[in-house]
Amino acid sequence: MHSLNAITLLLIIVGGINWLLVGLFGFDLVAAIFGGQDALLARIVYILVGLSALWQIMPLMRSFSGSEAHAQRH
């Protein structure tokens, strides 16, 4: 499970950097690499980033309810 969390976090970081580039410069790096926003590979990357964000909700909720949040407060 730890490796899946690391992979999904990495994909979220890639997505965040892509959105930073879109916001600052109007440049979609994923689309540029994979042949446009409608290209199959670009759409797969967008879907994986979105699914990664959904997956990361679980560890976030666990950190609020478990001992991890308690440890960070002290």
The dihedral built from the CA positions of residue 19, 23, 29 and 31, taken in this order, carries a sign that is positive
Q: Where are the domains of the chain?
A: 2-66
Between the CA of residue 44 and those of 3, 30, 31, what are the distances in Å?
20, 10, 11
pLDDT at 29: 97
Spatial CB neighbours of 74, under 8 Å, sequence gap ≥ 6: none
Flag whether the pTM goes above 0.85. no
Question: What is the C-alpha separation between 24 and 22, in angstroms, rounded?
Answer: 6
Spatial CB neighbours of 73, under 8 Å, sequence gap ≥ 6: none
- 14-60 tens-digit pLDDT: 999 999 999 999 999 999 999 999 999 999 999 999 999 999 999 88
